[in-house]
Amino acid sequence: MQQNIVRTRDVTKVYRMGKIEVHALRGVDLEIRAGEYISIMGPSGSGKTTLFNMVGGLDKPTTGKVYIEEVDVAQLDAYELAWLRCRKIGYIFQTFNIIPVMTALENVTLPMVFAGLTTDEARDKGVELLGRVGLGDRLSHKPFELSGGQQQRVAIARAMANDPSLILADEPTGNLDIKTGTEIIGLLKQLNKENSVTIISATHDHKMLSASDRIVWIRDGKVDRIEERRDLKIEVGTIEGET
Amino acid sequence: MNETQPLARNAQARIGKQMMLPWSKAFEIALKSIKVRFWRSMITMSSIVLAIAFLMSIWTSTAITMSLSLGPQREIDAIKARLAVVREAIKGGAGAPTRAEVEERYAADLADARALKQAAIREKQSALDSATTDEAKKLKDEIEALQAELGEAKTLELLRDHLAACRSAVETTKGRLDTILQQERAGGETQAKEDAPPPPKDSPAPSTAPPAPRAGGIGAFLDFMSPTDKWLAVLALLVCFVGIVNAMFMTVQERFREIGTMKCLGALDAFIVKIFLIESAMLGFIGTLAGIVIGFLLSTVRQWIVYGGATWTYLSLASILFAALMAALVGLVLSIVAAIFPAQKAARMQPVAAMRIEE
């Protein structure tokens, strides 16, 4: 049996906005296997982002359990959570979030420094990672000297810094043009295959669908349906046909 | 649920605890964020530069005023004491110090006195060359008289006359300084209380006279600051404090994404707090140093215009260093304390903040 990297059990999340209770999630059961490439899709306000934050250990459920590598996230203290985020999970953001005061290389080595690597070890590994994402010649560039696609590549190298078992990508192509977006998806897929790192991405981007092993559709705070890629081939056609 | 519990326990053991980063890394990051926002940092810093410059200028002028109002009296008292000893020696009698003792004790004064006499003799000798015969005779007599005063047996009298002359010179200076001090004081008070009439200038005005000299230190120093100065200094520091807090809160607000990202990458709350405290402390340190130099220069230039060369005569380096040290302490503490709340706000920011889209 394949190990589940993320597992949720009847997860609900209620936000209180003044006197109104907003039920963002209404009982989600989800199992994500190690090495999978998962896309979470759904319209705005469907609870997609909330679920995404849950499985990334960024938010705690109101009721229910979230297990990351079979560890109950709610049981962890601040130090353990930081440890988890540092070593087990890599984050990729829609807005790239490269630390503006640091060079590409320093951005990539920062999580390694947080993990306690020495400066030399971190440097070597950072150079190697930036080479892998195709930025070997831009080590000492500052974020504002890089294009959006290049910044996202730095972010991907940074997410891979401590060899995480899980990468969370929040709309990774949202701020990129179609061509660059396709390249970034290709890069993520490549990492997914070569390092067998699990990738979970929340997205609106239909280009993402063909790269995904499974797609989780969220509607009204519940899992609407989960599609395997083999069922999808036809659907991608129809979507493209419609638009 | 029960069957998953032991499994979760086991897994829990695999999770380590994130450790704290060394100060050097926080220091490095803080320095970089100052550099990258250089002009904004300069503006933040300018508030502390101005406040500390103001404080330092007040303290410097306080130190100078204090030295000018207490210094001459102290010098007069010292000269009087020496004079008394010399007079006693001249009078002679039981228990009186011998001439040799006095010469040894006040060797410096004696040397001064001799140098002055010799200078006078040289001056008269050079006047001899161009003098008529009558004048030359008179000058020669004077030179002889002066040389007689320099004689070995006359040292006590020489010393006495010299000290007396010194005393009256210092008394003249003191009188002049006191007049200026009183005018300054009166000027300050009329500014503070607009309707208050200036005190009569020719009267001794004991009410506005400086308080009796007492043991030095902070107490005496603070006594010498006028209430207006104290109030203004406190006000300047308050404004500066609020300015730093405001600027730091804005920085935190602006950097939500950076802070959120750092937390996603594994930064602990304490590390974020460190970064902001170090940043503020660094700005505070540089700003305070600049403020001390600027305040000192501005204040001494002003005092020099008012009192002239006498500004430096009685000023002790210790009192200026003391003022600078206090100002440095105030500036550093102020900039660190002002950063505490913004830094805590930054540390409490959730990692989810990194996901926010809006600017």
Q: What is the residue type of A49?
A: T
Please report the pLDDT score of residue B295 as a whole number: 93
Please report the pLDDT score of residue B110 as a whole number: 80
Q: Taking CB atoms and an 8 Å cutoff, what residues of chain A touch B266?
A: 82-83, 85-87, 111, 114-115
Q: Identify whether the C-beta of residue A92 lies closer than 8 Å to the C-beta of residue A197.
A: no
Q: Identify whether the C-beta of residue B233 lies closer than 8 Å to the C-beta of residue B308.
A: no
| A contact set with B (CB within 8 A) | 9, 49, 53, 58-59, 67, 69-72, 75-80, 82-87, 91, 93-95, 97, 99-102, 110-111, 113-116, 158, 170
How many Å apart are CA A206 and CA A227, to the nearest integer? 14
Would you list the domain boundaries of chain B?
A: 23-182+218-356
Contacts of B257 (CB under 8 A, 6+ apart): A95, A97, B353, B354, B356
Q: Taking CB atoms and an 8 Å cutoff, what residues of chain B touch A72?
A: 8, 12
Burial B268-302 (b: 16+ CB within 10 A, else e): bbebbbbbbbbbbbbbbbbbbbbbbebbbebbbee
Q: Taking CB atoms and an 8 Å cutoff, what residues of chain A touch B33?
A: 101
Kindly give the parts of chain B with pLDDT less than 70: 1-13, 187-220, 357-359
Q: Identify whether the C-beta of residue B339 lies closer than 8 Å to the C-beta of residue B276.
A: yes
String of DSSP letters for A40-55:
EE--TTSSHHHHHHHH
Minimum distance, in Å, between the CA of residue B280 and any CA atom of chain A:
17
Closest CA to B284 of B237, B331, B233, B242: B331
Task: Supply the mean pLDDT for chain A.
Answer: 87
Please report the pLDDT score of residue B359 as a whole number: 52
Residue contact B11–A69, C-beta within 8 A: yes
Task: Supply the mean pLDDT for chain B.
Answer: 79
ipTM: 0.86
- Coil, strand or helix: which one is B94? coil
Q: Taking CB atoms and an 8 Å cutoff, what residues of chain A touch B262?
A: 99, 110
Q: Taking CB atoms and an 8 Å cutoff, what residues of chain B touch A116?
A: 19
Minimum distance, in Å, between the CA of residue B42 and any CA atom of chain A:
17
Phi/psi at A17 (nearest 5 deg)?
-115, 95
Q: Which two tokens stand for residue B267?
A: 């930064």
Q: Which residues pair with B219 in a beta bridge?
A: none
Q: In angstroms, what is the C-alpha Rg of chain B?
A: 34
Residue contact B266–A97, C-beta within 8 A: no
How many Å apart are CA B202 and CA A133, to the nearest integer? 87
Q: What is the residue type of A141?
A: H
Probe site for chain A from B264, B271, B350 (most A CB atoms < 10 A):
B264
Q: Which two tokens stand for residue A140?
A: 């000492």
Closest CA to A226 of A236, A235, A218: A218
How many Å apart are CA B297 and CA B288, to the nearest integer? 14
Please report the pLDDT score of residue B204 as a whole number: 44
Contacts of B236 (CB under 8 A, 6+ apart): B50, B51, B54, B55
Q: What is the pTM of this model?
A: 0.77
Please report the pLDDT score of residue B314 as a whole number: 77
Please report the pLDDT score of residue B219 as a whole number: 67
Cβ neighbours around A62 below 10 Å, total: 15
- Cβ-count burial of A32 within 10 angstroms (0-12 exposed, 13-18 middle, 19+ buried)? buried
Listed in sequence order, the DSSP H helices in A56-144 are 78-87, 104-114, 119-132
How many Å apart are CA B241 and CA B331, to the nearest integer? 10
Minimum distance, in Å, between the CA of residue B353 and any CA atom of chain A:
10
Listed in sequence order, the DSSP H helices in B308-354 are 310-313, 317-348
- Cβ-count burial of A77 within 10 angstroms (0-12 exposed, 13-18 middle, 19+ buried)? exposed
What kind and span of H or E run contains B263?
Answer: helix B256-264
Residue contact B14–A71, C-beta within 8 A: yes
Per-residue pLDDT of chain A (243 residues; tens, 9 = 90+): 457 889 999 999 998 888 888 888 999 999 999 999 999 998 888 888 888 888 888 888 999 999 998 889 888 888 898 899 999 999 998 888 898 888 999 999 999 988 888 889 999 999 999 999 999 999 999 888 999 999 999 999 999 999 999 999 988 988 889 889 999 999 999 999 999 999 999 888 888 888 899 999 998 889 988 888 777 654 544 444 443
